[in-house]
Amino acid sequence: MKTKMKKVKLYDTTLRDGAQGENVSFSLEDKLRIAQKLDALGIHYIEGGWPGSNPKDAGFFKEVKKIALKNAQVTAFGSTRRARQKAEQDNNIKHLLKAETEVITIFGKSWDFQVSDILRVGLEENLMMISDSVSYLKKQGRRVFYDAEHFFDGFCANKDYALKTLAVAQDAGADYIVLCETNGGMISSEIAKIVAYVKSKIKISLGIHTHNDCGMAVSNAITAVEQGCVQVQGTINGYGERCGNADLCVIIPNLKLKLGIDCISDENLKKLAETAHYIAEIANMIPQNNQPFVGKSAFAHKGGVHIDGVIKNAKSYEQIEPGLVGNRRRFLLSELSGKTNILVKAKELNLDLNKNDPQTKKILELLQDLENQGYQFEAAGSSFELLMNKAMGKYKDFFKLENFSIVIEKKGKEITSKASVQIRVNEAKKHSTADGDGPVNALDNALRKALTDFYPVLAEMHLSDFKVRVLNAKEGTAAKVRVLIQSQDKRDTWDSVGVSENIIEASWQALRDSMEYKLWKEKVVRYKPQAASREML
Angle at 37 between CA 25 and CA 491, to 5 degrees: 85
pTM: 0.73
Q: Is residue 15 in a domain? A: yes
Of 522 and 9, the one with more pLDDT:
9
Evaluate if residue 4 carries a pLDDT over 90: no
* CATH number reported for the structural domain that contains residue 172 in this entry: 3.20.20.70
In a domain, 124, yes or no: yes
pLDDT-based confidence at 340, cuts 50/70/90?
A: low
| Confidence tier at 479 by pLDDT (50, 70, 90) | confident
Identify the band that residue 281 occupies on the pLDDT scale cut at 50, 70 and 90.
confident
Residue 191 lies in a domain: yes
Q: pLDDT value at position 533? A: 35
**Does 359 score more than 60 pLDDT?**
yes
Q: What is the percentage of the chain residues whose pLDDT exceeds 70?
A: 93
Closest CA to 109 of 101, 96, 99, 119: 119
Q: What is the pLDDT of residues 34-81, one digit of tens each?
A: 999 999 999 999 999 999 888 999 999 999 999 999 999 999 999 999
Q: Give the C-alpha separation, 37 to 164, whole Å.
A: 38
- Residue 228 lies inside a defined structural domain of this protein: yes
Q: In the chain, how many domains are there?
A: 1
Q: What percent of the chain has pLDDT over 90?
A: 69
Q: How far is CA 220 from the centre of its chain?
A: 21
Query: What does the pLDDT look like over 374-422, one tens digit per residue?
Result: 776 766 778 888 888 888 888 888 999 999 999 999 988 899 999 999 9
In contact, 469 and 499? CB cutoff 8 Å: no
Residue 87 falls within a domain, yes or no?
Answer: yes
pLDDT of res. 537: 38
The answer to whether residue 536 scores a pLDDT higher than 60 is: no
Q: What is the pLDDT of residues 283-332, one digit of tens each?
A: 888 889 899 999 989 998 887 788 778 888 999 999 999 999 999 888 77
Q: In what order do the strands lie in the sheet with 414-425?
A: 400-411, 414-425, 428-436
| pLDDT at site 430 | 94
Task: Kindly indicate the confidence band of residue 530, based on its pLDDT and cuts at 50, 70 and 90.
Answer: low
Nearest to 145 by CA among 119, 114, 179: 179
CA angle at residue 303 from 301 to 305, to 5 degrees? 105
* Stretch 98-112: mean pLDDT: 97
Q: Which structural domain, as residue segments, surrounds residue 33?
A: 9-264
* Domain-embedded: residue 51: yes
Q: Which residues contact 456 (CB under 8 A, 6 or more apart)?
A: none
> Helix (H, G, I), strand (E, B), or coil: what is residue 235?
strand
DSSP string, 353-381: --TT-HHHHHHHHHHHHHHHHT---TT-H
pLDDT confidence of residue 337: 52
**Residue 529: its pLDDT value, please?**
64
Q: pLDDT tens digits for 227-263?
A: 999 999 999 999 999 999 999 999 999 999 999 999 9
287 found inside a domain:
no
Average pLDDT, the chain: 90
Average pLDDT over residues 147-165: 98
393-401 contact pairs (CB < 8 A, 24+): 394/351, 395/520, 396/526, 396/535, 397/516, 398/425, 398/455, 398/515, 398/516, 398/519, 398/520, 398/524, 398/526, 398/527, 399/423, 399/424, 399/425, 399/451, 399/454, 399/516, 400/424, 400/425, 401/508, 401/512
DSSP SS3 for 531 = coil
Specify the range with the lowest mean pLDDT, choosing from 305-319, 346-360, 412-426, 447-461.
346-360
Q: What is the rounded CA–CA span in Å between residue 165 and residue 82?
A: 16
Residue 470 binned pLDDT confidence (cut-offs 50, 70, 90): confident
Find the mean pLDDT for residues 451-471: 89
Residue 442 placed within a domain: no
